[in-house]
């Protein structure tokens, strides 16, 4: 059972839902004082990794803050299956409930577009975040994936001295961010004729899946010197150790477990940031738009502009694009060995005032 399965799906003011089958509440309502309370759904396609769990926890934490809790009702829904049809079905049910806004962590960049357009046409403020959609009517809070992949690959090319076999994790294949990140990696590797991508796997951000699929690839690819992952450096290390192979240069997500492990083992690691509080940022923006407190552009980006390297992976001459940079990890500043290994970093940003406890408990 997932974290949310144990705790239930929380709203800001009411316990309203169970996984996949929320009691659907419609539109804005008025309090006794006459103030509007806005109903906002968060529709999540997938709940099978710590990132998604923390994303939901952060959204709940924002909705519980004093300045928001009396003014919005947050209802979180997880699709019953990690499929396009399941997410479309749950979105259509939500649209019929006529809430004020729907926030979407999408399974596909394009397959949900027609449904998202239905929501816009019904007068619902539609937001996508993390794994976004391409429908023009939707507002988007999204990291730009191509520079993330480009920067990781530029680092990898330097770390392996421009030659050798590498393996690439394609994450959630078909999802916008994963596909964009993979495209950025391949764009760089094409420039290096002596670097060869000898295999790919789809971790879906799940450590067990990563270990299983990478281990399978290593049975036939014994000369791999680098792995670029959307998931876990720890899983990569275990797969190579079990295969009896020399540890590779590793790129992976900036999570406490990865940072602490890479630092402890003095490994050459690059950690890219993918903040789970992007859903909370979308929630704040949607609420402020609904309550006429602020206006936002159709696309909000550049909130994941700092990535990290270990001292062993700190090399001169790496080209970082998209206004990004890479800082050297520092204990109890950019990672926290005494806190949960599942904590995705950095903990907060954009003035959201979130905490590690919010990430882990909501």
Query: Does 343 map to a domain?
Result: no
DSSP state of 312: G
The predicted model gives 151-156 an average pLDDT of 98
What element of type H or E holds 186?
helix 176-189
pLDDT at position 206: 87
More confident position, 31 or 127: 127
Instruction: Mark whether 203 and 105 lie in a shared domain.
Output: no
User: Of 154-168, 257-271, 296-310, which gets the smallest average pLDDT?
Assistant: 296-310
Whether this prediction's pTM lies above 0.85 is answered by: no
Domain count, the chain: 2
Tokens of 147: 């520079």
The predicted model gives 245-272 an average pLDDT of 96
Instruction: Mark whether 132 and 171 lie in a shared domain.
Output: no
Instruction: Mark whether 28 and 77 lie in a shared domain.
Output: yes
Instruction: Mark whether 200 and 71 lie in a shared domain.
Output: no
Asked whether the predicted pLDDT for residue 172 surpasses 90, the reply is no
pLDDT at position 7: 27
Instruction: Mark whether 182 and 115 lie in a shared domain.
Output: no
Query: Does 338 map to a domain?
Result: no
Instruction: Mark whether 324 and 182 lie in a shared domain.
Output: yes
Instruction: Mark whether 171 and 313 lie in a shared domain.
Output: yes
Asked whether the predicted pLDDT for residue 4 surpasses 90, the reply is no
Mean residue pLDDT across the chain: 89
Q: What is the CATH number of the domain that holds 217?
A: 3.40.50.2300
Instruction: Mark whether 280 and 263 lie in a shared domain.
Output: no
What element of type H or E holds 5?
helix 3-7
Q: What is the pLDDT of residues 288-300, one digit of tens each?
A: 999 999 999 999 9
Using an 8 Å Cβ cutoff, are 58 and 184 in contact? no
Instruction: Mark whether 251 and 221 lie in a shared domain.
Output: yes
Instruction: Mark whether 293 and 198 lie in a shared domain.
Output: no
Asked whether the predicted pLDDT for residue 15 surpasses 80, the reply is no
Instruction: Mark whether 8 and 128 lie in a shared domain.
Output: yes
Asked whether the predicted pLDDT for residue 358 surpasses 70, the reply is yes
Cβ neighbours of residue 118 closer than 8 Å, sequence gap 6 or more: 92, 95
> Which residue range is the domain that position 121 belongs to?
3-143+276-297
Query: Does 282 map to a domain?
Result: yes
């Amino acid at each position: 059972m997932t974290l949310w399965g144990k705790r239930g799906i929380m709203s800001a003011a009411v316990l309203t839902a169970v996984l996949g089958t929320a009691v659907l509440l419609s539109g804005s309502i008025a309090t006794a004082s006459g103030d509007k309370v806005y109903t906002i759904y968060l529709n999540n396609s997938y709940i099978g990794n710590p990132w998604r769990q923390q994303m939901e926890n952060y959204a709940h934490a924002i909705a519980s803050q004093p300045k928001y809790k009396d003014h919005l009702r947050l209802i979180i829904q997880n699709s019953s299956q990690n499929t396009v049809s399941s997410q479309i079905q749950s979105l259509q049910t939500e649209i019929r409930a006529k809430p004020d806004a729907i926030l979407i962590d999408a399974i596909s960049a394009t397959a949900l577009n027609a449904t998202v357009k239905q929501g816009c046409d019904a007068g619902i403020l539609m937001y996508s975040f993390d794994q976004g959609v391409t429908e023009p009517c939707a507002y988007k809070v999204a990291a730009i994936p191509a520079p993330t992949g480009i920067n990781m690959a530029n680092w990898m090319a330097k770390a392996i001295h421009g030659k050798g076999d590498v393996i690439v994790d394609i994450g959630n294949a078909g999802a916008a961010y994963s596909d964009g990140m993979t495209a950025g990696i391949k764009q760089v590797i094409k420039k290096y004729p002596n670097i060869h991508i000898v295999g790919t796997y789809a971790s879906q951000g799940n450590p067990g899946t990563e270990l299983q699929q990478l281990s399978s690839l290593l049975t036939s690819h014994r000369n791999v010197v680098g792995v670029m992952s959307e998931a876990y450096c720890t899983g990569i290390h275990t797969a190579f150790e079990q295969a009896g192979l020399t540890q590779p240069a590793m790129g992976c997500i900036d999570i406490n477990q990865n940072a602490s492990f890479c630092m402890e083992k003095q490994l050459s690691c690059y950690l890219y940031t993918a903040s789970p509080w992007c859903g909370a940022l979308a929630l704040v923006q949607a609420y402020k738009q609904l309550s006429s407190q602020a206006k936002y552009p159709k696309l909000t980006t550049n909130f994941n502009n700092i990535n990290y390297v270990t001292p062993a992976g700190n090399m001169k001459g790496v080209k970082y694009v998209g206004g990004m940079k890479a800082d050297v990890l520092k204990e109890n500043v950019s990672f926290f060995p005494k806190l949960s290994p599942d904590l995705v970093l950095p903990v907060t940003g954009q003035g959201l005032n979130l905490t590690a406890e919010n990430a882990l408990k909501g």
